[in-house]
Amino acid sequence: MTLSLDLHGKPVLDSKVALLTGANGGIGLAVAYAYLASGAKCVIVDLPQDPSPGVSALLDKYGDNLAYLHADLTDAEARQHIVSAVVSKFGGIDVLFNNAAVFDMGPFLEATEAQFDKLFNVNVKAMFFLMQDVAKAMVEAGNGGKIINMASQAGRRGEALVAHYCATKAAVVSYTQSAALALAEHGITVNGISPGVVDTPMWDSVDALFAKYENRQLGEKKKLVGQDVPLGRMGVPNDIAGMALFLASPLSDYITAQTYNVDGGNVMS
């Protein structure tokens, strides 16, 4: 099922331009589907050289309204090139879906600087400076804008095996609040989404790490976390895409500096 939204008989993101990172699959791809179906023009950025089959299908369907760029977001020149390329192709940026992230875990007493640098370089540094680069373009254009940063329920609490990742996602929540206050005078809203456990291909890797460090069978952790959700299941990408579509739309114009838990009731804040 592809999400879409109309307002007053017109696609809710009609003529809007959205930049989405980490959207070659999973949550990001679901959000791209929702944005395109709701009238947006989109540029998807991810690390692989070639688009995934899911993105290729979108390129076939939406043609000139979609582009795929491969880039390393930890590289400052690459980030600036992305922003310039989107502005050049579509005339500006109205929405940033700031989603790219990496995951790792391990025992606290064995945590390394290499792990720390890997997670913070992508999940915090690249997230912040892409947000800054896009915000500069939005301010220059003078039309306001919507920035949506992807946090996690991991950013709401510590976890013994996931210290670095939890800290990076807590930083996303904090930067979202600060950026919202800094950019409010320019008509730019900045909000976040804090998913719970979402059934994407990445969770196979996460499950394997939990199996290693908690001495579990493969698939056991994934089953348990789904059972522990108050609504009784893991989330799916469209559960997150609904909030991402709302926050990109005019329906959220008076909302800023918030990070929404979309987690089936796992976290209450």
Q: 74 with 125: CB under 8 angstroms?
A: yes
Q: 197 with 186: CB under 8 angstroms?
A: no
Pull the structure tokens for residue 154.
């991991």
- DSSP lists the bridge partners of residue 186 as none
Closest CA to 124 of 97, 148, 151: 151
Of the candidates 35, 165, 175, 260, the residue annotated as catalytic is 165
Q: How many CB atoms lie within 10 A of CB 67?
A: 18
Q: 41: which residues sit within 8 A by CB, 6+ positions away?
A: 15, 16, 17, 18, 65, 66, 90
Lookup result for tokens 């979202």 = 176
Q: 135 with 147: CB under 8 angstroms?
A: yes
68 as an active site residue: the answer is no
Separation CA 128–CA 131 (nearest Å): 5
Type and span of the H or E element at 202: helix 202-213
| Active site amino acids | 165
